Amino acid sequence: MDLDQLAALRTPEGSAALAAATEVAGGDPLAAAAALRSAGVPAGLAAAALTQAELRRRAVAKFGPAAAGMFLTRAGLEQATRGVVAARRADRLRAAGVRTLADLGCGLGADALAAARAGIRVYGVEADPVTAAMAAANAEAAGLADVFTVECGDATAFDVSAVDAAFCDPARRRAGTGRRIFDPNAYSPPWDFVTALAERVPHTVVKVAPGLDHALIPPGAEAEWVSVGGDLVEAALWCGRLAEVPRRATVLKEGPPVNAFCIGRAPCNHPQPACHHQLTGSGTEEAAVGPVRRYVHDPDPAVVRAHLVAELAGELDATLADPTIAYLYADTPGATPFARCLEVTDVLPFSLKRLRALLRERRVGRVEILKRGSALEPERLRRDLRLAGPEAASLVLTRVAGAPTVLVCRPVTYPLDQEAAAG
């Protein structure tokens, strides 16, 4: 999309085309295009409207109902922060006393909009003219144009002395190709500029890829990994006065606070529409190693990436069965938002023949397959097992003391009062 197409979409004719495209989004693209052309929408405008309608449909998963009025690009949507994550970050900035924020490389404005909604005055800078125009349009659509303004320019040239906080989400995809960039020095803005921000701005937050090498974390910074609904979605570096702990794992659960881990709070004050749980620590502790026990806990990926498995093991009175594998074993089930718990019924040195015989004996026809430290492909194993029967089981492919092992498990059902206590 170019600036002329964006301008056309913002006219009354463009709004009508978008409304028509929204009605047919998600269906057959050729049929949708034909429907708009038959309604008298010019081909170019129809194509732009259909692209926006499809992107908005996909964006609902990130932004909820607000996606219906946003202007988006494919690359911008992929890198944009989820609404619940951006809202929590904005609340934390506001609680730290931030009143003015520079969003350096604001993209489509997801984080800036959340900060503006939290009462923070945001100055966005975006190098790409179309993306900058879309961010401004999104601010206008949200009714926040007076507190979130965008300029098209070089983020490294912005005068950060005019604000008391900076947020930077450096581009990690190559312009034109969309390919991921794994070398931080090739980010835009470059990594040395990003890490130097903390020396210039008292409150600095940097959004980074979840796979960030811990060696790249600046001294004194807090590194946080965030998951939503069990999916690891991002990491962030909280620098300067914002750094509170060395490592943090934040688990967000979307939806009203009626899940088991919020029941019993008085009241649950988690930001809507998500509740959150945080595990903190040094990121350098090591969990004790012991035998496989009755229950296995599969830590949330945010806990694993934050190197907080040892801290979780302490909470659960659990141990590792292999020092390199992040499965935790305990004698009792732990109701925790930071891990899923399964009851271990069988422990086998891995053998396809023995496993197939056991599952056949148990009349297992459906299996969930989890794995850590195993080279086996779950779908191929599923086919090789040739399952048949009415029962279900969970298989955990792992290593125990270095040896390939399979755990046959079943889900743990907690009493409501135990779940509530975990909140």
Report strand pairing: 121-126 vs 148-152: parallel
Q: Is the pLDDT at 143 greater than 90, yes or no?
A: yes
- Across the range 132-159, mean pLDDT stands at 96
Q: What is the mean pLDDT of residues 234-242?
A: 95
pLDDT of residue 253: 82
Q: What is the model's pLDDT at position 176?
A: 58
pLDDT of 390 > 60? The answer is yes
Q: Which residue has the tokens 């190709």?
A: 177
Query: So what's the pLDDT on residue 420?
Result: 42
Compute the distance between CA of residue 177 and CA of residue 164 in angstroms, rounded to an integer: 35
pLDDT (0 to 100) of residue 260: 31
Handedness of CA 353, 354, 355, 360 (dihedral sign): positive
Phi, psi for residue 249 in degrees, rounded to 5? -115, 125
Tokens of 265: 């709070």
pLDDT band of 251, cuts 50, 70, 90: very high
Sequence-distant (≥ 6) Cβ neighbours of residue 231 within 8 angstroms? 301
Smallest Cα–Cα separation from 206: which of 87, 117, 89?
89
Instruction: Give phi and psi for 99, each to the nearest 5.
Output: -120, -30
Regarding predicted confidence, which is higher, 406 or 265?
406
What is the per-residue pLDDT for 415?
A: 59
More confident residue, 251 or 335: 251
What does the alpha-carbon distance between residue 289 and residue 5 come to, in Å, rounded to a whole number?
60
The predicted pLDDT at position 270 comes to 34
Grade residue 175 by pLDDT with cuts at 50, 70 and 90: low
* Cβ count within 10 A of residue 257: 20
pLDDT at 38: 83
Q: What is the pLDDT of residues 269-317, one digit of tens each?
A: 333 445 789 999 999 999 999 999 999 999 999 999 999 999 999 999 9
Number of alpha carbons in the 13 Å side-chain half-sphere of residue 377: 4
Lowest-confidence region among 11-25, 75-89, 164-178, 188-202: 164-178
The pLDDT of 88-97, averaged and rounded, is 96
Q: Give the pLDDT band (50/70/90) at residue 29.
A: confident
DSSP labels, 281-344: E-S-----B----SEEEEE-HHHHHTT-HHHHHHHHT-EESSTTS--EEESS----TTEEEEEE
**DSSP for 115-180?**
HHHTT-EEEEEESSHHHHHHHHHHHHHTT-TTTEEEEES-GGGS-GGG-SEEEE--B-B-TTT--B
Judged by average pLDDT, the poorest of 111-125, 211-225, 402-416 is 402-416
pLDDT score, position 194: 87
Q: Which of 154, 124, 126 minimizes the C-alpha distance to 139?
A: 124
Inter-residue long-range contacts of 32-37, CB under 8 Å, 24+ positions, other chains counted: none
Q: What is the pLDDT of residue 107?
A: 94
Contact at 8 Å (CB) between 338 and 280? no
Average pLDDT of span 382-388: 95
Q: How far apart are CA 320 and CA 312, in angstroms?
A: 11
- Residue 76 identity (one-letter amino acid): G
Determine if residue 244 is left, alpha or beta; phi over 0 gives left, psi from -120 to 50 gives alpha, anything else beta. Answer: alpha
Per-domain residue ranges for the chain?
3-70, 76-244, 295-422
**CATH homologous superfamily of 76-244:** Vaccinia Virus protein VP39 (3.40.50.150)
